[in-house]
Amino acid sequence: MKIINGNIRLIVVFSIILLFIIVVNIFWGKHPILDFFQFLIKKDYFWIVPLFIALTFGFWQREINVKKKIGKERREIYTATMRTIQDLLQNSASSMQLLILDMKDTGVHDDIIQRAEKNIDELKSVITTLASIDPMSIQLKELNDKLSIIKMNE
């Protein structure tokens, strides 16, 4: 199925050409491909067919390699972005822990301290969730359920 999704235009064009050749063969009694090959052999142009096949295959391989390279670069950028976000969140969690220690020293109400600790726990779960994301198989609905803001505020 992956082959069909990536090359749908090529498949449609090839199908149209094939149908055209079949119609020409059946209704007009002409054989365009056979006539073309006979023309090439008669004029000593038979080297064009392997050259065309080689060029077509070369361009196809180049397209595959470019898509692989783009995918690899996207994964690298995604990984770098996720690590940066994790670092920022980790720094925020560390700052909040220091703030909690200061609040405990100054005698702030325990309810506020417990809420701050709960927020730190939620922040750590977000960091863990971000660390477990695989860029090749991201399920946005599942990710949204794990990182839901409503869930964090409950």
For residue 153, what pLDDT band results from cuts at 50, 70 and 90?
Answer: very low
Report yes or no: 147 and 133 within 8 Å, Cβ to Cβ: no
- pLDDT at residue 24 greater than cutoff 60: yes
pLDDT in tens, 114-148: 888 888 888 888 777 777 777 666 665 665 666 55
Q: Tell me the C-alpha to C-alpha distance, in Å, between residue 66 and each of 12, 59, 115.
A: 23, 10, 50
Q: Tell me the C-alpha to C-alpha distance, in Å, between residue 22 and each of 16, 32, 49.
A: 10, 10, 21
Look over the chain and give the mean of its residue pLDDT values, rounded to a whole number.
77
pLDDT in tens, 70-98: 888 888 888 888 888 888 888 888 888 88
- pLDDT at residue 5 greater than cutoff 80: no
Q: Which two tokens stand for residue 86?
A: 């994790």
Quote the DSSP letter at residue 47: T
Q: Where are the domains of the chain?
A: 78-154
3-class SS letters over 58-114: HHHHHHHHHHHHHHHHHHHHHHHHHHHHHHHHHHHHHHHHHHHHHHHHHCCCHHHHH
Q: What is the pLDDT of residue 145?
A: 64
- pLDDT at residue 107 greater than cutoff 60: yes
Other C-beta atoms closer than 10 Å to the C-beta of 22 total 10
Q: Tell me the C-alpha to C-alpha distance, in Å, between residue 128 and each of 58, 92, 107, 119.
A: 44, 14, 31, 14
Q: Give the total residue count for the chain.
A: 154
For residue 2, what pLDDT band results from cuts at 50, 70 and 90?
Answer: low
